Amino acid sequence: MITLILNIQNHKGADALTLTFPYHAQLISEVKKLPGITWSASKRVWLLPFCPGLIESVKHILGHMVQIDDTEAVKKAERIAGEHRSTEAYADKLEAFSLWLNSKRYSSNTIKTYTDAVRIFLRFMKGKPVGEIEQSDFIHFNNEYILKNGYSASYQNQVVNGLKLFFRTVENRKIEIEEIHRPRRERKLPAVLSKEEVKQILESPTNLKHKVMLSLIYACGLRRGEILRLKPDDILSDRKLLHIKQSKGKKDRIVPLSDRLLEMLRAYYKMYKPKVWLFEGQTEGEPYSEKSLESVLKQSVYKAKIGKPVTLHWLRHSYATHLMESGTDLRYIQELLGHNSSRTTEIYTHVSQKNIQQIRSPFDDL
């Protein structure tokens, strides 16, 4: 008889029940019927968003077909239940923190990131009164939760920032950040495509909407969220400009639109006639989804036969680098990208092919 192993793992910041078993066509067919089930290709397991009673439900539905090993899942479920009970005592403080962030007009993503960070930390404290939390607790959490689980330096910084803000605003206390060993910021170079590779990607879609979206991201150096929040009146066609409103850092900026891109936008508008958002999903008035946009890029990269893990942000990086290689002043590139500091924009000098190729190696003088 087939053995189905149940376990609980963290998946994209949330607890998920995992189902692992040898390949069996009939069992796979039954598993697919479970509400909310997804397949993780990277982890090679089936996933269900965890909730109380889920383990028993799965056993009831699939128990007649397989032998179920739920030993680890039950242990972790009991621990999770205890952690959730311990965070109930902090509910008012978490609510107060969320309201404060809202009042200061933090973005929805930042509010979620910071409140989740504080919730995880308080759960780790297992009911210890907030007023009794000491500096050593932060260090212990950093060592035993963040570092032990191998979370990234950027995630560690987000957690530290969230905790620092929570204790300053809600508890009126300061955290000595230096003692938490804030990680050194990684200095990675941006991934850049050649102009030929960009051309191949942009010419791959047969769907006009898909082609225009990818072209606009590259031609204007847009972030993913920026293109999805565009509205038809953000296209200033008479001035050949694109108005990007309230982007990162609550800033507006304008970028030029070429005649060729304006022609594509006009053809797109005539065909799709968007009502609220420039790019809408299948439901009229609803913005195009991030997941669908990423899927469009993935399919275009596949059709272009480019064997690189290209993301939407690679198009923005490529835009900036290609501007630099064509001789555009760094200060203008900074404005076009919406960077606060020129130091952020200067990183593209490290990947500019033109700048690097102009350097003469001392080897040639030997």
Q: Could you tell me which of 286, 254, 279, 252 has the C-alpha nearest to residue 265?
A: 279
What are the Cα distances from residue 293, in Å, to 29, 282, 310? Answer: 29, 13, 13
Residue with tokens 């092919």, as numbered in its chain: 353
- According to DSSP, the β-strands at 38-40 and 67-69 are unpaired
Residue with tokens 């000595």, as numbered in its chain: 176
- Phi, psi (rounded to 5 degrees) for 253: -155, 160
Helical spans, DSSP H, in the chain: 25-31, 54-62, 71-88, 91-103, 108-124, 135-141, 153-169, 195-203, 208-220, 224-228, 259-272, 290-303, 312-325, 330-337, 342-345, 353-357
Residue 127 contacts residue 86 (beta carbons within 8 Å): yes
- Phi, psi (rounded to 5 degrees) for 187: -110, 80
What residues are annotated to the active site?
A: 223, 248, 313, 316, 339, 348
* The two structure tokens encoding residue 24: 């069996």
* The two structure tokens encoding residue 122: 């308080």
